[in-house]
C-alpha cells in the first residue's frame, strides 16, 4: 500500500486491462465440478435477528502488573482511540450524529453502530433498511459519484496516495486533500494525547515510537514511526494507530482507513514463539512453488508477539473483529525490517469458545470433534500471519510491479486466500521440523475445517469470507473433506487435504507472482461463491443461535481503571 512507484504509468496501463477483462469475464456462478447450483438466497432475517448474530463480550485482561503511570497512559490512549473512531466514521460514512438522529428504531441503530455505517459488512454491504441506499464504492474517501475515467483525468499526482481523499469542486472537477488537512482538528487532538502518553512511558523505545507516530499524524509520513515500531523491544503496552487497511476503499483499494489496537503483551506466550522467527527463511524456501516465486527474503527483524487486546477502534472495530494482524503494511519497511505477527490471545479464546466450539458440535463429524483444540486454533492463526508475510510482494514477469498494483481490486481476496492455505501448509511444515511437539497434525486440520465455516459466514463483502469460499470449494472438489448427508457433518481427509493445500498455495502464489489479473478473476468467479449445500449448512448454524461474531464491551470502566 505504501510502495513508491510511478503510479500514473501503472494505473493507465492496468485500468485499460481491467476494463477489457471485466467485460470478457463476467462471474459465472453456475459452474462447479459437481454441477451443484448456487441457491437463490431469500433473506427473511429481521433487523433484530441481525443484531442477535453478534454476542457481546468484555474486552479485558489482568492489569495488576502495570504501575500507575502505565495505567494513566492507557486512559490517554483510549481517549485517542475514541477520536480515531470518529475519523473512521467520517471515512466510512460521514456525519454519524446526523445519521443517529435520523434513526428511531433501537435495533437498527445498534446494527448501524456495529457496522460503523448503515450497510451490513457481513452481507456484502447491503443497506440496513431501504432508505439508506447502496454504499458508495469508495465510501467517503472519494466523491460519491466518482468514475474511473474522471479519476484518471485528475492532474493531482497525490491522487494515488494512501493518505488523500478525493473531493469534487463546485465546477465539477476533482481535487485531493491530504489526510492531515482533511482531519486536522481531530488528528491534532490524537497527536497531543499520544505525546502526553509518551511522557509516562518508562520504555524509551515505546516513548520514541509514540512520539514519532504522533508527529506522523500531522504530516502523513509514517515511515520513521514504522521503523521505530519494528525496533521497539521490551514494552508491556503496545498501541497501533493510524491509517492502515485499504479494504474500506472498494474503488481502487488504495486509501487507508484509520484504526487502533491497544494491547498488553503476554511475555510468557510470546517467548514460546520466538524460535519460529529464525525459521522464516527456511519456510519461505519450502513453499510449494517454482524457485522464482520464493526469492524474496523475509526481513531479519521479524518477530511474533502474543497480546491481550483491550481496545479496538475505527476500522478494526467495524463488523468482524480480527484475532491477529500482521504489521507493518508498508512494503518498504517489510523488506528492510521484516514484520511483526500479533496474536490476540484473549480475543481468540472468546471466538473459540463462543463460536468455533458450537459450530464444531453441529458440523464436524462426531469421531473428529476430539481434535477441536484451542492450541491448534492458536497455532493455525499464528501460521496465517506468518503466511501473510511469505511468498511474493513483486511480480516476476519483468515489470517488477507490486502484486497489489497488478491485481488491483482483486488483491485482498488473493492475499487472504494465500495466507489461508499457507496457514495449514506452514503448520504441517512445523510438525515435520519437530518445532510443534504437542498435539497432533489432525488437531490443526480439523480445527481449520471448523474455522472455515466461521470465516465463510463473513460473506462476499469481506475478503476473509470470499477467500474462504475459494478454499472450501477447492477442498471439496479435491476430496480434502467429506460430508455425511445423513448427519450433515464433515470429516477431514488429512492426506488429501495436505495435497490440496500445496496445490492451491502453488496456484495462488503463481497468480500473484505473475501479476495475472485474468487468472485471479477466473479463480474468484469460479470458486468464490457459496453453493446450495453450504448455504443450507450455514443456515443451520444461524438457526442454532450460534453468533457470527463478537462485539465488545470495552473501555476504562471495563478495565477497572475508573
Q: Band of the pLDDT at 272, cuts 50, 70, 90?
A: confident
Q: Band of the pLDDT at 425, cuts 50, 70, 90?
A: very high
Q: Which string of DSSP letters, residue by residue, matches 389-410?
A: HSS-SB-SSSS--BHHHHHGGG
Q: Which of 246, 485, 280, 307 is nearest to 390 (CA)?
A: 280
Separation of alpha carbons 555 and 79, rounded Å: 9
pLDDT at 198 (0 to 100): 98
Strands 258-265 and 303-314, sheet pairing: antiparallel
Query: Model's pTM, two decimal places?
Result: 0.85
pLDDT > 70? residue 258: yes
Q: At what angle do helices 441-456 and 463-477 cross, to 10 degrees?
A: 120
pLDDT > 80? residue 19: no
Span 446-457, average pLDDT: 93
Strands 549-553 and 54-58, sheet pairing: parallel
Where is average pLDDT lowest: 18-22, 161-165, 232-236, 328-332? 18-22
pLDDT > 60? residue 38: no
**Inter-residue contact 180 to 220 (CB < 8 Å):** yes
pLDDT > 80? residue 26: no
Q: Read off the pLDDT of residues 370-391 as tens digits, 9 standing for 90 and up.
A: 999 999 999 999 999 889 889 9
Take residue 208 and report the three cell numbers written for it.
520514541
HSE at residue 362, side-chain half, CA atoms within 13 A, is 19
Position of cell 469458545?
A: 353
Amino acid at each position: 500500500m505504501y510502495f513508491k512507484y510511478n503510479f500514473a504509468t501503472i494505473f493507465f496501463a492496468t485500468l485499460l486491462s481491467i476494463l477489457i477483462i471485466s467485460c470478457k469475464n463476467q462471474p459465472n456462478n453456475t459452474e462447479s465440478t459437481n454441477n451443484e447450483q448456487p441457491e437463490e438466497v431469500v433473506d427473511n432475517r429481521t433487523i433484530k435477528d441481525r443484531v442477535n448474530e453478534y454476542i457481546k463480550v468484555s474486552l479485558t485482561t489482568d492489569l495488576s502488573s502495570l504501575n500507575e503511570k502505565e495505567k494513566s497512559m492507557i486512559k490517554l490512549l483510549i481517549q485517542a482511540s475514541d477520536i480515531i473512531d470518529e475519523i473512521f466514521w467520517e471515512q466510512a460514512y460521514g456525519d454519524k450524529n446526523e445519521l443517529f438522529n435520523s434513526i428511531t428504531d433501537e435495533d437498527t441503530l445498534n446494527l448501524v453502530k456495529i457496522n460503523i455505517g448503515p450497510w451490513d459488512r457481513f452481507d456484502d454491504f447491503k443497506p440496513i433498511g431501504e432508505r439508506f441506499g447502496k454504499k458508495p464504492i469508495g465510501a467517503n474517501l472519494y466523491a460519491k459519484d466518482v468514475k474511473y475515467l474522471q479519476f484518471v483525468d485528475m492532474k493531482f499526482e497525490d491522487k494515488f496516495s494512501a493518505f488523500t481523499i478525493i473531493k469534487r469542486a463546485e465546477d465539477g472537477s476533482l481535487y485531493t486533500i491530504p489526510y492531515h488537512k482533511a482531519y486536522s482538528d481531530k488528528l491534532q487532538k490524537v497527536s497531543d494525547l499520544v505525546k502526553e502518553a509518551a511522557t509516562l512511558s518508562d520504555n524509551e523505545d515505546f516513548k520514541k515510537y509514540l512520539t514519532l507516530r504522533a508527529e506522523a499524524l500531522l504530516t502523513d509520513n509514517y515511515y520513521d514511526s514504522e521503523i521505530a515500531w519494528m525496533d521497539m523491544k521490551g514494552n508491556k503496552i503496545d498501541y497501533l494507530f493510524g491509517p492502515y487497511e485499504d479494504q474500506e476503499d472498494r474503488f481502487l483499494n488504495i486509501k487507508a482507513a484509520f484504526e487502533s489496537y491497544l494491547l498488553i503483551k503476554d511475555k510468557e506466550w510470546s517467548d514460546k514463539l520466538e524460535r519460529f522467527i529464525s525459521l522464516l527463511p527456511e519456510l519461505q524456501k519450502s513453499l510449494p512453488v517454482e524457485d522464482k516465486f520464493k526469492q524474496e527474503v523475509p526481513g531479519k527483524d521479524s518477530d511474533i508477539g502474543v497480546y491481550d487486546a483491550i481496545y479496538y477502534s475505527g476500522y478494526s472495530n467495524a463488523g468482524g473483529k480480527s484475532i491477529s494482524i500482521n504489521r507493518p503494511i508498508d512494503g518498504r519497511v517489510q523488506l528492510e525490517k521484516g514484520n511483526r505477527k500479533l496474536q490476540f490471545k484473549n480475543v481468540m479464546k472468546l471466538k473459540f469458545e463462543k463460536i468455533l466450539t458450537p459450530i464444531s458440535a453441529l458440523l464436524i463429524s462426531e469421531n473428529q470433534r476430539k481434535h477441536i483444540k484451542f492450541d491448534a486454533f492458536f497455532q493455525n492463526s499464528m501460521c496465517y500471519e506468518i503466511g501473510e508475510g511469505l511468498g511474493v510482494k513483486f511480480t516476476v514477469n519483468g515489470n517488477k510491479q507490486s502484486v497489489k498494483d497488478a491485481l488491483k481490486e482483486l488483491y485482498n481476496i488473493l492475499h487472504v486466500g494465500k495466507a489461508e492455505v499457507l496457514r495449514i501448509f506452514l503448520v504441517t511444515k512445523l510438525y515435520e521440523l519437530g518445532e510443534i511437539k504437542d498435539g497432533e497434525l489432525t488437531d490443526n486440520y480439523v480445527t481449520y475445517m471448523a474455522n472455515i465455516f466461521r470465516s465463510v459466514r463473513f460473506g462476499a463483502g469481506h475478503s476473509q469470507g470470499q477467500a474462504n469460499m475459494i478454499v472450501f470449494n477447492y477442498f471439496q472438489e479435491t476430496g480434502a473433506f467429506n460430508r455425511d448427508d445423513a448427519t450433515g457433518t464433515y470429516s477431514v481427509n488429512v492426506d488429501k487435504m495436505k495435497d490440496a493445500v500445496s496445490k492451491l498455495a502453488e496456484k495462488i502464489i503463481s497468480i500473484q507472482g505473475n501479476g495475472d489479473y485474468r487468472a485471479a478473476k477466473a479463480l474468484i468467479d469460479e470458486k468464490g461463491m457459496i453453493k446450495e449445500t453450504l448455504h443450507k449448512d450455514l443456515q443451520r448454524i444461524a438457526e442454532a443461535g450460534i453468533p457470527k461474531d463478537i462485539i465488545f464491551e470495552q473501555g476504562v470502566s471495563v478495565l477497572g481503571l475508573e
